[in-house]
């Protein structure tokens, strides 16, 4: 028997980052938006836990127990006192180490898929609790839609979204490590007074109204200067997207994927075409938001 689920990538419409706390983490105000780029995770009964992965970036995905999908299976099996013997196959379409929470998506997906395969029937709250244990972005991958994350980003409140937003994503060569980008944020912030992270009222209102122009004006990412400092060529990609007709562009999460908000589906197509020929990125994708969270297929 097998179970397959589909899980979306995310973009951060706002990522406000506070000063490093004594434990090294940062408080965040993180407006997550799930976008229609998906990984599919299939779990099948097997003699031992193993992970396989297919897709353009498959070579960069760890296949051992550090894979978030394998960790999800191990945590669920541990809580229910059963063996984690399952074959997890990831059909990977979300860029790896791209700032789009691909690993988190696979973790949330494997958790829901194993819960269904094993008939453990964990409650939604228990699933969310396991997600939070796996990583700050994992609970959002489970719920999808749009949500405000506070604390380290893992305390989630759902947000109303009044329309569809169209995005173009430019994938860069190679990934950026999220911890390295936070370290660079800390380095750039040295000697400055970092304000408390707060969600933007204008941004939340724009999401609720489905107002693309207002959302474009309110997008922000406090990690962008750090990502640009580590990968200066991203400035060229951002400029190319704006020249191509995007309403706004920003680094997605910790990067190096860049995200461009565009007026409509037609504009997404033309901005994507122009970005593709700009020579400033590896590949380009279009996707709309919000997308649902983990879905059983
Ligand atoms: P985020 O946006 O949450 O910071 P990201 O999109 O930048 O994450 P991921 O694609 O989640 O990055 O991968 C980050 C690292 O996590 C990878 O380099 C890889 O070593 C590890 N990893 C663990 N499990 C997975 C997985 N299932 N898919 C991809 N990477 C994984």
Reported as a single tens digit per residue, the pLDDT across 32-50 is 999 999 999 999 999 999 9
Q: How far is the CA of 175 from the centre of ligand 1 (A)?
A: 9
Inform me whether the pLDDT recorded for 153 exceeds 80. Answer: no
Rounded mean pLDDT of the chain? 96
Residue 151: per-residue pLDDT: 86
Q: Return d(Cα 93, Cα 56) in angstroms, integer.
A: 7
Inform me whether the pLDDT recorded for 203 exceeds 90. Answer: yes
Over the stretch 180-197, which tens digit does the pLDDT of each residue have?
Answer: 999 999 999 999 999 999
Is 149 touching ligand 1 by the criterion CB < 6 Å? no
Inform me whether the pLDDT recorded for 154 exceeds 80. Answer: no
- Quote the percentage of the chain above a pLDDT of 90: 94
Q: Strand, helix or coil at 29?
A: strand
Over the stretch 4-33, which tens digit does the pLDDT of each residue have?
Answer: 999 999 999 999 999 999 998 899 999 999
Residue 1: per-residue pLDDT: 92
193 catalytic? Reply is: no
Q: Which of 27, 106, 137, 222 is catalytic?
A: 137
Per-residue tokens: 240: 């190319």
- Quote the percentage of the chain above a pLDDT of 70: 100
Q: Return d(Cα 262, Cα 216) in angstroms, integer.
A: 8
Q: Return d(Cα 129, Cα 139) in angstroms, integer.
A: 8
Of 16-20, 94-98, 150-154, the one with minimum mean pLDDT is 150-154
Q: Return d(Cα 131, Cα 122) in angstroms, integer.
A: 12
Closest residue by Cα to atom 28, ligand 1, is 103
């Amino acid at each position: 028997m097998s179970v397959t689920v589909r899980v979306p990538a995310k973009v951060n419409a706002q990522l406000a980052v506070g000063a490093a706390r004594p434990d090294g983490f940062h408080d965040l105000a993180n407006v997550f938006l799930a976008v229609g780029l998906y990984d599919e995770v299939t779990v099948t009964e097997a003699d031992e836990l193993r992970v396989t992965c297919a897709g353009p970036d498959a070579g960069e995905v760890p296949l051992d127990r550090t894979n978030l999908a394998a960790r999800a299976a191990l945590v669920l099996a541990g809580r229910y006192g059963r063996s984690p013997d399952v074959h997890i196959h990831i059909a990977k379409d979300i860029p790896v180490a791209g700032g789009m929470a691909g690993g988190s998506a696979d973790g949330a997906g494997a958790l829901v898929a194993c819960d269904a395969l094993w008939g453990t029937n964990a409650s939604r709250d228990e699933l969310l609790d396991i997600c939070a244990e796996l990583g700050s972005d994992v609970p959002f991958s489970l719920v999808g839609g749009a949500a405000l994350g506070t604390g380290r980003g893992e305390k989630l409140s759902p947000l109303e979204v009044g329309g569809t937003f169209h995005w173009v994503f430019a994938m860069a060569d190679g990934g950026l490590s999220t911890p390295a980008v936070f370290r660079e944020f800390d380095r750039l912030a040295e000697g400055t007074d970092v304000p408390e992270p707060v969600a933007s009222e204008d941004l939340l209102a724009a999401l609720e109204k489905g107002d693309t122009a207002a959302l474009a004006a309110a997008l922000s990412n406090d990690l962008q200067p750090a990502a640009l400092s580590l990968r200066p060529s991203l400035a060229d990609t951002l400029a190319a997207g704006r020249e191509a007709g995007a309403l706004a562009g920003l680094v997605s999460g910790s990067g190096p994927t860049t995200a461009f908000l565009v007026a409509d589906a037609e504009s997404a197509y033309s901005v994507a075409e122009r970005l593709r020929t700009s020579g400033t990125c590896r590949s380009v994708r279009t996707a709309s938001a919000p997308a649902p969270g983990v879905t059983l297929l």
